[in-house]
Amino acid sequence: MIAVRKASQSDRQAVWSVHVRAIRETCSRSYTPEQVIAWSRLLPPDSSIQVLQDREFLVAEKHGVIAGFGLLNQGSEEVEAVYVRPDHLRGGVGRAILEALERVAQQGGLDTLWLFATLNAVPFYLAAGYIVQHDTQHCLPNGMELPCVRMAKRLPSESRAAQPRQAPDRGKGAAAGNTYVVTSDR
Ligand SMILES: CC(C)(COP(=O)(O)OP(=O)(O)OC[C@H]1O[C@@H](n2cnc3c(N)ncnc32)[C@H](O)[C@@H]1OP(=O)(O)O)[C@@H](O)C(=O)NCCC(=O)NCCS
């Protein structure tokens, strides 16, 4: 079972670990070793503390383990991150996180989301209904540039989005306090 819930301060070490491992083990297929090193060094273990307070910050638990996380900036209407632990790829974790972020966005009154997709994540976002706007570069604080792709999606109306799509228990958690999506794993 995958459950997506709000992150708490006690999740930050696990979130940091997922972030660094995803960059080093998954994103490294699409970026140079120099880019991966510069990117992953930007993240001290306590780096998520401030972000936890400023953003919609969700984590996905699979069998009691933090298997991924996602970040939504409601103000800029941007999905800022979806990261999955490399040993949980292609198990539906990323999709569950993204659906939960979209649900939060809809509940906040947004009807469109955009994001900068890493090159390796473009097929994932295409599968989720995002369309490519244009190629671009994300500039790291040290000046190094990471090629990425700007993508966007018009969200379905909330009434349609609320319909269960797959697993019989999908959506049960939506009303249960901090849990947004509960779905079967594969
Ligand atoms: C992108 C990422 C979040 C996807 O997470 P995931 O849990 O593996 O994705 P899911 O299992 O939910 O995949 C959902 C669908 O997306 C598509 N998809 C996901 N990864 C894909 C890939 N590598 N190639 C092609 N399609 C892919 C598939 O259609 C998949 O459905 P299917 O498995 O039934 O075919 C994950 O690869 C990741 O963490 N990458 C590193 C971090 C990163 O780049 N994040 C994005 C920052 S913008």
The answer, yes or no, to whether any atom of ligand 1 lies below 6 A from the CB of 121, is yes
Tokens of 138: 């994300």
The answer, yes or no, to whether any atom of ligand 1 lies below 6 A from the CB of 26, is yes
pLDDT exceeding 70 applies to what percent of the chain? 83
The answer, yes or no, to whether any atom of ligand 1 lies below 6 A from the CB of 7, is no
| Res 164 pLDDT > 50 | no
Question: Ligand 1: distance of its center to the CA of 90 in Å?
Answer: 6
pLDDT at residue 29, as a whole number: 94
**CA-based nearest residue to 151, from 127, 133, 129, 163:** 133
pLDDT at residue 170, as a whole number: 40
pLDDT at residue 43, as a whole number: 67
* Long-range Cβ pairs for the range 37-44 (8 Å, 24+): 38/140, 38/142, 38/144, 39/140, 39/144, 39/146, 42/140, 42/141, 43/16, 43/19, 44/16
Q: Which residue bears the tokens 């919609």?
A: 56
Q: What confidence category does residue 186 fall into, taking pLDDT thresholds of 50, 70 and 90? A: low
CA 132 to chain centre: 17
Average pLDDT on 106-121 reads 96
Best mutation site among 35, 80, 102, 124 for ligand 1, i.e. most ligand atoms within 8 A of its Cβ? Answer: 124
Alpha carbon separation from 66 to 60, 77, 110, 138, 141 (Å, rounded)? 6, 25, 27, 27, 28
End-to-end Cα separation, the chain, in angstroms: 9
The answer, yes or no, to whether any atom of ligand 1 lies below 6 A from the CB of 97, is no
Question: Ligand 1: distance of its center to the CA of 49 in Å?
Answer: 26
The answer, yes or no, to whether any atom of ligand 1 lies below 6 A from the CB of 79, is no
Lowest mean pLDDT among 47-61, 97-111, 136-150: 47-61
Question: Ligand 1: distance of its center to the CA of 149 in Å?
Answer: 15
pLDDT at residue 49, as a whole number: 63
Q: Which CATH architecture has domain 2-172?
A: 3-Layer(aba) Sandwich (3.40)
Question: Ligand 1: distance of its center to the CA of 18 in Å?
Answer: 14
Atom of ligand 1 nearest to the CA of 116: 48
**CA-based nearest residue to 8, from 48, 64, 65, 62:** 48
Q: What are the φ/ψ torsions at residue 166 (nearest 5 degrees)?
A: -135, -90
The answer, yes or no, to whether any atom of ligand 1 lies below 6 A from the CB of 180, is no
Question: Ligand 1: distance of its center to the CA of 140 in Å?
Answer: 23
Average pLDDT on 101-112 reads 95
DSSP line for 6-28:
E--GGGHHHHHHHHHHIIIIIGG
